Amino acid sequence: MPTSPRLLRRAAAHRGDAAQPLPQEVQEIPIGLRRAAAWSWRILLVVALIALAVWGMSKVMTLVIPLLIALLLTSLLAPVVRLLSEHTFLGRGGASGIVLIGLLLLIAGMLTLAGRQLFSQWSDISQQAVAGFQQLTDWVTGTLGIDTPTINSAIEELTAKLQANSGTIISGALSGVSTVGNVLTGGFIALFSLFFFLADGPRIWRWTVGLLPREARPATHEAFRRGWKALSAYMRTQVLVAAVDAVGIALGMVGVGLAGYAIPVWLIVFLFSFIPLVGAIVSGIIAVLLVLVLKSWVMALVMVGVVLLVQQIEGNVLQPFLMGKAVELHPLAVFLGVALGSMVAGIAGALFAIPLIAFVNATALYLAGRAPSPELGTDESARRAYAPTVRSSRRA
């Protein structure tokens, strides 16, 4: 096949440019340093883009956090919606509405039951707290030899400082009111987004993939399927682990004679368990302090043993067997992810760090050619829909 003269001239020019030696100042730089410099500016560019994205999201956290919560709940509830839409007369929209209403009723019922028990026992808690404070005061004055006037002067000094900083306290209370408003707004955004993610999730995803170059769409879709599967497995496993932790500590409350507080403690432990590493410690401390106030320090020590036993079972049995199979993450990755998330975004960062790492890990493994979850195969309908057309391939 004859070759175009223009192509021959371009090839000759290219060979001539390639044959030209590098400048003297470049040749004097070791090849290793040149490669390190070439990698460095690219890495710095990627880090700068990530930092810019994090900074931008921090400015709209009221919107970002509800959307992330909606995505996590979608990964958990999407199988239920699919089951209802495939095996009942309901369409996807109707099934999504039923699931959303069921979720709201479940949350409202749990909060109502736990709140009713706490309010009914609130007088006992306050009386026991006052009695415990009096016992602590008697122990300090009797054992440590600190007289009552010294304690009273310390209390008066603390009161004076509170009065001096009353403006700061009032501004903090006002900021708390605005925080409550942000929570209500975020809850509405999360529920609204959750409904449409459940009802129109596939269509929203197809539109999103359609914004990418056509050649990148099939790989992006398959990588997302692996990441979504890892995220769904993480959420189901985390719910199971949180429920087991909550049941164990609630049974401990029953064992120390505080059965009336079992349900509130179960709810507290269940919710805090979704914050890796930190949540279990905080919820355990709350349960121990409640036993200390209402019972005695002996029963509090017993409760400490129950909390440690439950956490050991979680860390040595549940997490390796359940979470290890669901999400292939090393414990060091979990620890560093939670630490980084908490430094960047506080409690919200610690909450979303591990789901995000699980999603990114599965997605990156597929793009690197390791293909996690081989049982998913290839989505043939998506492959045909995203396949490059003849016109685009000729242009390429």
pLDDT tens-digit readout, 259-278: 778 888 888 888 888 776 67
Helices (H), the chain: 5-19, 24-27, 31-58, 61-87, 92-120, 122-143, 148-164, 166-209, 217-255, 262-272, 278-294, 297-313, 324-326, 331-367, 380-386, 390-395
Residues 292-337 have pLDDT tens digits of 877 777 888 888 888 888 888 876 677 666 666 666 677 777 777 7
> What's 315's DSSP letter?
I
pLDDT at residue 201, as a whole number: 87
**Residue whose pair of structure tokens reads 């630490």 in the numeric block:** 339
pLDDT for 197 equals: 92
Phi, psi angle pair for 4, to nearest 5°:
-65, 135
Tell me the backbone φ, ψ of residue 165, rounded to 5 degrees.
-105, 30
Contact 270, 245 (CB under 8 A): yes
Where the chain has pLDDT below 50, the residues are 1-3, 5, 7-8, 12, 15-18, 169-170, 172-177, 390-396
Whole-angstrom distance, CA of residue 288 vs CA of residue 306? 10
Indicate left, alpha or beta for 195 from its phi (over 0: left) and psi (-120 to 50: alpha): alpha
pLDDT in tens, 215-238: 888 888 888 888 888 888 888 888
CA distance 182 to 63: 10
